[in-house]
Amino acid sequence: MGTEAGTEAESTGLTPRQARLARIVAGSVLLVVTATVLVTRLAAHTSVLVVGVYGLAMILCGVVIELSRNGRTRLATWLLVGGLATAFALDWLVLP
C-alpha cells in the first residue's frame, strides 16, 4: 500500500520525451509568433534594426528547437525565455 502512493507521487512530472516535445512545440509556436510580429513591425516601420532583432529571435527559436531535439531541454528553456525577453525588451526600448 505504501509503494503505490510513492509511485503516484513520482509519476506526476514530465518524462524526458514529453519535456523535449513540449520545448519543440513551444519553440515552434514562438517562432511563428515572432515571424508574425516581424511582419507587422516591418509594415509599420521599415528598419534594419527591426529585421536584426526579430531575425535573431527567430534564429534563437530554431536553436532552441534543435537543442530540444538533442535532449538539452533546460538550456533550451533558458535560452528561449532569456532570448525572447531580450528581443521584446529591445523592441520596446530601442526600436523606433
- pLDDT per position as a tens digit, 65-80: 898 888 888 888 898 8
Say how far apart CA 57 and CA 85 lie, in whole Å.
Answer: 10
C-alpha cell at 5: 502512493
What type of residue sits at position 15?
T
Domain locations in the chain as residue ranges: 14-93
Query: Which pLDDT does position 32 carry in this prediction?
Result: 93
Query: Which pLDDT does position 96 carry in this prediction?
Result: 64
pLDDT at 60 over 80: yes
Question: By CB neighbour count within 10 A (0-12 exposed, 13-18 middle, 19+ buried), where does 40 fall?
Answer: exposed
Task: Average the pLDDT over 39-51 and give the result.
Answer: 83
User: Is 83 in contact with 60 (CB distance < 8 Å)?
Assistant: yes
Say how far apart CA 46 and CA 17 lie, in whole Å.
Answer: 41
More confident residue, 3 or 86: 86
Task: Give the chain's length.
Answer: 96
Mean pLDDT of the residues in the chain = 82
Query: Which pLDDT does position 4 carry in this prediction?
Result: 53
Query: Which pLDDT does position 29 carry in this prediction?
Result: 92
